[in-house]
Amino acid sequence: MKTSPSRYIGLGLLLVLLAAFPLIAPLFGLEFYIGFVRRVLIVALAAASLNFILGFGGMVALGHAGFIGMGAYTVVALSDAGVMSGWIMWPAAALVAGLVAALIGTVALRTRGVYFIMTTLAFAQMLYFVVVSLRRYGGDDGYTLMSRPTLLPGLDLGNESNFYWVVLAIVALALWWLHRATRSRFGHALMGIRDNETRMRALGYPVFRLQLVAFAIAGAIAGLAGALLAGGNGFVSPATMHWTQSATLLVMVVIGGLGRSWGGPVGAVVWLVLEEVLKQHTEHWHMPLGLLLIAVALWAPKGLAALYRRRLPLTPTLSPEGQGSKTTP
């Protein structure tokens, strides 16, 4: 599917505006929102990683926050050991979370339906209770990082603007990669499995292996988001990986649009911005957000992103030899 030039222009303008935000915000006394926008970017990345397996792969996982937590606690462990280089911390966080996701997926992907949901939930809660028991890293009270990671000589990531720009660059690259992955032969095969697993298996595709790779990739990207979140907050708590956080991510994806490249980021932005605004006006901010979810389910079941762009075709036609793909209307 070709992307129109106008969309590239729009995305380019959005990237420029986001990059300029730390320069503009102080002019209006909005320095606080530099950290807020950075957090939105990181959560958008986590939501996009969930959408990769949920919307494109049809794997309804209710334990995605566990991978975010694994990435965050990898940063904690390395920081406690005296390792502060971002070149080591962030790839290590993605690697550890990806490996954990692969191990969990090896078991969970042998189940289907509600059993898959409950298996991923059970593993995530196991991880949660493991980190709660780690007294060296603060246990239930969490762990405070002494400083942010280092990246390049002369680049002070303790400066909010500098760290914001680093996060923006990483998130933009990761989202671009996910976008390309969904349009690759691998992505089309994943969508084919989502729509008709039996057919794809009959065509000779290694269904389990493809799902496992996708599950591990999503876990690795979620782990990277967790590492960035830990560096930005300077604090990591087991609450980061509680199952309610996984449910919130799932809601974000549903609001944004399942199986849409920008569904996760759109849902994260809408949810977090409304949450921030509503918290300033009422203690019962959960109710309007609940009403939003109901409204989306009733009047925009394909998500808010669908109001702008049609969804990727549901059923890609593929050859088992991998000689390319085409989509059927």
Tokens of 322: 């991998």
**138 phi/psi in degrees, rounded to 5:** 95, -15
State which H helix or E strand residue 114 sits in.
helix 114-132
Per cent of the chain over pLDDT 90 is: 73
* Single-letter amino acid code for the residue at 310: R
Q: Output the furthest CA–CA distance in the chain (Å, rounded).
A: 61
| Low-confidence winner among 4-13, 196-205, 306-315 (lowest mean pLDDT) | 306-315
d(CA 214, CA 211): 5
- Fold type of domain 11-323: ABC transporter involved in vitamin B12 uptake, BtuC (1.10.3470)
Write out pLDDT tens, residues 215-242.
999 999 999 999 999 999 999 999 999 9
Do the bridges between strand 325-327 and strand 316-318 make them parallel or antiparallel, or are there none, so unpaired? antiparallel
Count of other CB atoms within 10 angstroms of residue 217 = 21
d(CA 102, CA 216): 5
State which H helix or E strand residue 316 sits in.
strand 316-318
